[in-house]
Amino acid sequence: MAGSAEKVMDLLEAVARSAEPIGLMELAAAVGMDKSAASRHAATLVGQGLLRRNPDTRKYSVGDRTVAFACSVLGRTNLRSSAVPHLVRLRDASGETASLALRVGGERICVAAVESRHDVRRVVNVGERVLLHEGVCGEVLLSVLPAPDLRSALQDAEALGADMQRLHAGVLEARRRGYSAAEGLRVPGVSAIAVPVHADGVEQVAALVLAGPSQRFTAERMEAVAPAMTAAAAALSRSAPSW
């Protein structure tokens, strides 16, 4: 029983560590398990919500329940506790919702958020999962990835039907400016600006994001708050080794 439990945990860890959804054969090989046993254990994990299986590609990625566990742990990490004061200041300076997103494989997950005080506001829920390449947050996260990871992420984005010309241009512009800002890029009527949080030698890559209704959060207002966001991201990046 103990050996079986260890194999199941190895399987879950292999999926969690994979930079992209993983197929059954590759998964079985990664944990030293035969295909039938891997399939059986994976099905159990899918049933428990710890893994999810794409019905089209038949590949596995982490499930919502695993993400919920991860967010619970992240809520107690130095990254979140260090970020919240910055998020509060950014929210107060801009009037808009501030959040922190962390790259997890081919997705990003919101690990902290401070909502705008306006009645009409952008709502971002902790634990919310979005494809890595989408929106301005995706552009800044991709802009700081190592070359091999970036190539893999762009291949995944293309397979998912992303506008690759727009995405390439956005990543290059984010790399040049150090941030990305746009109106309605991912959600119609919502403007957002994002800056990367990263440090040399640290695998985790995150992003600070401000978002609000485009009628209020105009291009001019996003440009005005960019220096404060860059400063906050730099402060968080300096604390990266303690994440």
Q: Containing H/E element for 213?
A: strand 206-213
86 and 175 fall within a common domain = yes
136 and 174 fall within a common domain = yes
pLDDT (tens digit, 9 = 90+) per residue, 189-217? 999 999 999 876 666 789 999 999 999 99
User: Which residue, 14, 30, 62, sits at the end of a domain?
Assistant: 62
Of 85-99, 130-144, 196-210, least confident by mean pLDDT is: 196-210
CATH number of the domain where residue 49 is located: 1.10.10.10
Mean pLDDT of the chain: 88
73 and 48 fall within a common domain = no
The domain in which residue 161 lies consists of 68-242
What number is the average pLDDT over the span 94-104?
94
Burial track 139-163 (b if 16+ CB lie within 10 A, e otherwise): bbbbbbbeeebeeebbebbeeeebe
What number is the average pLDDT over the span 123-147?
92
- Say whether pLDDT at 85 is over 60: yes
pLDDT value at position 240? 61
169 and 234 fall within a common domain = yes
50 and 113 fall within a common domain = no
Q: Containing H/E element for 45?
A: helix 35-47
User: Which residue, 14, 33, 62, sits at the end of a domain?
Assistant: 62
User: Which residue, 39, 62, 85, sits at the end of a domain?
Assistant: 62
33 and 78 fall within a common domain = no
Q: pTM here? A: 0.73
- Say whether pLDDT at 69 is over 80: no
108 and 227 fall within a common domain = yes
133 and 44 fall within a common domain = no
119 and 177 fall within a common domain = yes
Helix (H/G/I), strand (E/B), else coil: 62? strand
What number is the average pLDDT over the span 173-183?
96
CATH number of the domain where residue 140 is located: 3.30.450.40
Give the C-alpha separation, 212 to 115, whole Å.
10
58 and 72 fall within a common domain = no
Count how many domains the chain has: 2
47 and 78 fall within a common domain = no
121 and 183 fall within a common domain = yes
- Beta-carbon neighbour count of residue 187 at 10 Å? 13
